[in-house]
Amino acid sequence: MGKKGLSERQKNILAYIQEYVDDFGRPPTIREIGSAVNISSTSVVNYNLTKLKERGLLERDADVSRGLRLTDMATEVTEQVVETVSQVVEKVSTAVSNMFRVPLLGNIVAGLPIEVGNGDFSVYDEEDAIEVSSSMISGRHDNLYALRVNGDSMIDAMVNDGDIVIMRHDSDARNGEMVAVWLRDDTTTLKYYYQEGNKVRLQPANPTMDPIYVDRKDVQVQGKVMMVLRQTAR
Protein backbone atom coordinates (compact mmCIF):
# COMPACT_ATOMS: atom_id res chain seq x y z
CA MET A 1 0.00 0.00 0.00
CA GLY A 2 2.49 2.63 1.33
CA LYS A 3 3.90 5.14 -1.12
CA LYS A 4 2.31 3.81 -4.32
CA GLY A 5 -0.06 6.31 -5.82
CA LEU A 6 0.96 9.25 -3.64
CA SER A 7 0.53 12.61 -5.32
CA GLU A 8 3.32 15.18 -5.31
CA ARG A 9 1.20 17.26 -2.94
CA GLN A 10 0.94 14.37 -0.47
CA LYS A 11 4.67 13.70 -0.70
CA ASN A 12 5.33 17.37 0.01
CA ILE A 13 3.00 17.27 3.02
CA LEU A 14 4.88 14.30 4.46
CA ALA A 15 8.24 15.95 3.82
CA TYR A 16 7.09 19.19 5.45
CA ILE A 17 5.75 17.43 8.54
CA GLN A 18 9.05 15.57 8.94
CA GLU A 19 11.07 18.76 8.47
CA TYR A 20 8.89 20.68 10.94
CA VAL A 21 9.18 17.97 13.60
CA ASP A 22 12.96 17.87 13.13
CA ASP A 23 13.18 21.66 13.54
CA PHE A 24 10.66 22.26 16.35
CA GLY A 25 10.15 18.91 18.06
CA ARG A 26 6.41 18.96 17.44
CA PRO A 27 4.13 18.55 14.39
CA PRO A 28 2.76 21.56 12.48
CA THR A 29 -0.83 22.79 12.54
CA ILE A 30 -3.23 22.33 9.62
CA ARG A 31 -2.83 25.97 8.61
CA GLU A 32 0.95 25.77 8.73
CA ILE A 33 0.87 22.72 6.45
CA GLY A 34 -1.46 24.48 4.03
CA SER A 35 0.77 27.55 3.90
CA ALA A 36 3.91 25.45 3.35
CA VAL A 37 2.49 23.44 0.42
CA ASN A 38 0.39 26.24 -1.10
CA ILE A 39 -3.06 24.93 -0.14
CA SER A 40 -5.39 27.74 0.91
CA SER A 41 -8.26 25.50 2.03
CA THR A 42 -7.95 23.68 5.37
CA SER A 43 -10.52 21.15 4.14
CA VAL A 44 -8.18 20.21 1.28
CA VAL A 45 -5.33 19.77 3.76
CA ASN A 46 -7.56 17.59 5.91
CA TYR A 47 -8.55 15.52 2.88
CA ASN A 48 -4.93 14.78 2.05
CA LEU A 49 -4.07 14.02 5.67
CA THR A 50 -6.94 11.52 5.73
CA LYS A 51 -5.59 9.85 2.58
CA LEU A 52 -2.14 9.63 4.15
CA LYS A 53 -3.65 8.06 7.28
CA GLU A 54 -5.53 5.51 5.16
CA ARG A 55 -2.24 4.55 3.52
CA GLY A 56 -0.64 3.92 6.90
CA LEU A 57 1.77 6.81 6.58
CA LEU A 58 0.27 9.04 9.24
CA GLU A 59 -1.34 8.66 12.64
CA ARG A 60 -3.73 11.41 13.62
CA ASP A 61 -5.65 12.55 16.68
CA ALA A 62 -8.40 14.77 15.28
CA ASP A 63 -9.16 16.22 18.73
CA VAL A 64 -5.66 17.67 19.16
CA SER A 65 -4.40 20.76 17.29
CA ARG A 66 -1.02 19.20 16.49
CA GLY A 67 -2.13 15.59 16.73
CA LEU A 68 -0.02 14.24 13.84
CA ARG A 69 2.69 11.61 13.83
CA LEU A 70 4.48 10.05 10.89
CA THR A 71 4.71 6.28 10.91
CA ASP A 72 7.86 4.34 10.16
CA MET A 73 6.46 3.66 6.69
CA ALA A 74 6.36 7.41 6.01
CA THR A 75 10.06 7.80 6.78
CA GLU A 76 11.02 5.97 3.60
CA VAL A 77 8.84 8.27 1.52
CA THR A 78 10.16 11.49 3.07
CA GLU A 79 13.76 10.34 2.70
CA GLN A 80 13.17 9.64 -1.00
CA VAL A 81 11.62 13.09 -1.48
CA VAL A 82 14.59 14.78 0.18
CA GLU A 83 17.04 12.65 -1.82
CA THR A 84 15.30 13.46 -5.10
CA VAL A 85 15.35 17.19 -4.37
CA SER A 86 19.03 16.99 -3.41
CA GLN A 87 19.86 15.20 -6.65
CA VAL A 88 18.04 17.82 -8.71
CA VAL A 89 19.85 20.64 -6.88
CA GLU A 90 23.18 18.89 -7.36
CA LYS A 91 22.58 18.40 -11.09
CA VAL A 92 21.56 22.04 -11.56
CA SER A 93 24.59 23.26 -9.58
CA THR A 94 26.91 21.06 -11.61
CA ALA A 95 25.42 22.25 -14.89
CA VAL A 96 25.76 25.90 -13.89
CA SER A 97 29.35 25.46 -12.71
CA ASN A 98 30.23 23.80 -16.03
CA MET A 99 29.05 26.76 -18.11
CA PHE A 100 31.60 29.05 -19.73
CA ARG A 101 31.34 32.15 -21.93
CA VAL A 102 32.35 32.30 -25.57
CA PRO A 103 32.79 35.79 -27.07
CA LEU A 104 30.42 36.61 -29.92
CA LEU A 105 32.71 38.41 -32.38
CA GLY A 106 30.31 39.18 -35.20
CA ASN A 107 28.69 37.81 -38.35
CA ILE A 108 29.91 35.23 -40.85
CA VAL A 109 28.25 34.82 -44.22
CA ALA A 110 27.12 31.39 -45.35
CA GLY A 111 26.70 32.54 -48.92
CA LEU A 112 28.77 34.68 -51.22
CA PRO A 113 31.82 36.21 -49.51
CA ILE A 114 31.11 39.51 -47.79
CA GLU A 115 33.48 42.39 -47.25
CA VAL A 116 34.68 42.71 -43.68
CA GLY A 117 37.43 45.29 -43.89
CA ASN A 118 40.18 43.83 -41.73
CA GLY A 119 38.78 40.30 -41.50
CA ASP A 120 38.46 40.17 -37.72
CA PHE A 121 34.63 39.98 -37.62
CA SER A 122 34.59 42.57 -34.82
CA VAL A 123 31.21 44.19 -35.28
CA TYR A 124 29.71 43.31 -31.89
CA ASP A 125 30.29 44.84 -28.50
CA GLU A 126 33.08 43.01 -26.68
CA GLU A 127 30.73 42.16 -23.82
CA ASP A 128 28.54 40.03 -26.07
CA ALA A 129 29.03 36.37 -25.27
CA ILE A 130 27.36 32.98 -25.61
CA GLU A 131 27.10 30.62 -22.62
CA VAL A 132 28.01 27.02 -23.45
CA SER A 133 28.28 23.87 -21.32
CA SER A 134 31.81 22.49 -21.09
CA SER A 135 30.42 19.01 -21.76
CA MET A 136 29.48 20.11 -25.28
CA ILE A 137 33.01 20.93 -26.42
CA SER A 138 36.12 18.98 -25.47
CA GLY A 139 39.59 20.44 -25.21
CA ARG A 140 40.62 23.99 -24.43
CA HIS A 141 37.98 26.67 -24.13
CA ASP A 142 40.18 29.76 -24.25
CA ASN A 143 40.58 29.56 -28.04
CA LEU A 144 36.88 29.60 -28.92
CA TYR A 145 34.71 32.32 -30.36
CA ALA A 146 31.21 32.56 -31.77
CA LEU A 147 29.83 33.97 -35.03
CA ARG A 148 26.28 34.58 -36.12
CA VAL A 149 25.49 33.07 -39.51
CA ASN A 150 23.99 35.08 -42.35
CA GLY A 151 22.82 33.29 -45.47
CA ASP A 152 21.73 29.79 -46.44
CA SER A 153 24.64 28.25 -48.35
CA MET A 154 25.22 25.68 -45.56
CA ILE A 155 21.62 24.60 -45.00
CA ASP A 156 22.31 20.96 -45.92
CA ALA A 157 24.88 20.95 -43.12
CA MET A 158 22.10 22.05 -40.72
CA VAL A 159 23.49 25.58 -40.50
CA ASN A 160 20.72 28.08 -41.15
CA ASP A 161 20.46 31.84 -41.35
CA GLY A 162 20.52 33.27 -37.83
CA ASP A 163 22.22 30.26 -36.22
CA ILE A 164 25.36 30.74 -34.14
CA VAL A 165 28.48 28.70 -34.82
CA ILE A 166 31.07 28.09 -32.11
CA MET A 167 34.51 28.28 -33.71
CA ARG A 168 37.96 27.13 -32.60
CA HIS A 169 40.81 29.41 -33.63
CA ASP A 170 42.94 27.53 -36.13
CA SER A 171 44.90 28.58 -39.21
CA ASP A 172 45.03 25.07 -40.69
CA ALA A 173 42.20 22.97 -42.07
CA ARG A 174 41.75 19.46 -43.41
CA ASN A 175 39.69 18.62 -46.44
CA GLY A 176 35.99 18.46 -45.60
CA GLU A 177 36.12 20.62 -42.47
CA MET A 178 33.70 23.51 -42.15
CA VAL A 179 35.73 26.66 -41.65
CA ALA A 180 35.55 30.43 -41.55
CA VAL A 181 37.98 31.81 -44.12
CA TRP A 182 39.20 35.29 -44.88
CA LEU A 183 40.12 36.00 -48.48
CA ARG A 184 42.80 38.43 -49.61
CA ASP A 185 40.25 40.73 -51.19
CA ASP A 186 38.91 41.50 -47.68
CA THR A 187 35.95 39.14 -47.82
CA THR A 188 34.98 36.31 -45.54
CA THR A 189 32.71 33.28 -45.76
CA LEU A 190 31.73 30.00 -44.08
CA LYS A 191 32.24 26.90 -46.24
CA TYR A 192 33.60 23.37 -46.44
CA TYR A 193 37.34 23.49 -47.19
CA TYR A 194 39.10 21.41 -49.86
CA GLN A 195 42.67 21.78 -51.14
CA GLU A 196 42.97 20.92 -54.82
CA GLY A 197 46.53 21.51 -56.04
CA ASN A 198 47.28 25.21 -55.92
CA LYS A 199 43.61 26.02 -55.52
CA VAL A 200 41.22 25.84 -52.59
CA ARG A 201 37.62 24.88 -53.20
CA LEU A 202 35.17 26.49 -50.80
CA GLN A 203 32.17 24.22 -51.06
CA PRO A 204 28.66 25.27 -50.01
CA ALA A 205 26.19 22.76 -48.58
CA ASN A 206 23.39 23.93 -50.82
CA PRO A 207 22.74 22.23 -54.18
CA THR A 208 21.59 25.51 -55.73
CA MET A 209 24.96 27.19 -55.16
CA ASP A 210 28.33 26.74 -56.93
CA PRO A 211 31.66 26.27 -55.16
CA ILE A 212 34.16 29.10 -54.93
CA TYR A 213 37.70 28.50 -56.22
CA VAL A 214 40.59 30.65 -54.98
CA ASP A 215 44.38 30.44 -54.95
CA ARG A 216 45.79 28.85 -51.82
CA LYS A 217 47.91 31.93 -51.13
CA ASP A 218 44.77 34.08 -51.07
CA VAL A 219 42.98 32.04 -48.39
CA GLN A 220 43.44 32.43 -44.65
CA VAL A 221 41.64 29.95 -42.39
CA GLN A 222 40.46 31.70 -39.23
CA GLY A 223 38.67 28.91 -37.43
CA LYS A 224 36.86 25.58 -37.54
CA VAL A 225 33.22 25.02 -36.67
CA MET A 226 32.96 23.01 -33.43
CA MET A 227 29.20 23.18 -32.87
CA VAL A 228 26.05 24.93 -34.09
CA LEU A 229 23.53 26.63 -31.81
CA ARG A 230 20.18 26.51 -33.54
CA GLN A 231 18.09 29.65 -33.86
CA THR A 232 14.58 28.30 -33.20
CA ALA A 233 12.65 31.54 -33.55
CA ARG A 234 12.04 32.28 -37.22
Q: Are residues 105 and 181 in the same domain?
A: yes
Strands 129-133 and 114-115, how do they pair?
unpaired
- The answer to the question of residue 60 being in a domain is yes
- The answer to the question of residue 34 being in a domain is yes
Q: Report d(CA 93, CA 86) in Å as an integer.
A: 10
pLDDT tens-digit profile of 91-147?
555 555 567 788 888 888 887 665 544 444 544 444 567 877 777 777 777 788 888
pTM above 0.85, yes or no: no
Q: Are residues 71 and 108 in the same domain?
A: no
Active site residue 153: yes
CA-to-CA dists, residue 20 to 33, 96, 126, 132, angstroms: 9, 30, 50, 40
Domain extent at residue 37: 8-96
- The answer to the question of residue 145 being in a domain is yes
- The answer to the question of residue 12 being in a domain is yes
Q: Report d(CA 54, CA 50) in Å as an integer.
A: 6
Domain boundary residue, one of 48, 68, 96 = 96
Residues 153, 199, 217, 224: which is the catalytic one? Answer: 153
- The answer to the question of residue 3 being in a domain is no
Q: Are residues 79 and 109 in the same domain?
A: no
Q: Are residues 114 and 58 in the same domain?
A: no
User: Domain tally for the chain?
Assistant: 2
Active site residue 191: yes
Domain boundary residue, one of 61, 96, 131 = 96
- The answer to the question of residue 32 being in a domain is yes
Give me the CATH number covering residue 40: 1.10.10.10
Q: Are residues 158 and 136 in the same domain?
A: yes
Between residues 212 and 94, the one the model is more confident about:
212
Q: Are residues 110 and 214 in the same domain?
A: yes
- The answer to the question of residue 1 being in a domain is no
Q: Are residues 184 and 125 in the same domain?
A: yes
Q: How confident is the model at residue 20 (pLDDT cuts 50, 70, 90)?
A: confident
Query: What value does the mean pLDDT take over residues 4-21?
Result: 83
Residues 41, 91, 138, 191: which is the catalytic one? Answer: 191
Q: Are residues 108 and 90 in the same domain?
A: no
Query: What value does the mean pLDDT take over residues 60-65?
Result: 73
Q: How confident is the model at residue 83 (pLDDT cuts 50, 70, 90)?
A: low
pLDDT tens-digit profile of 186-197?
788 999 999 999
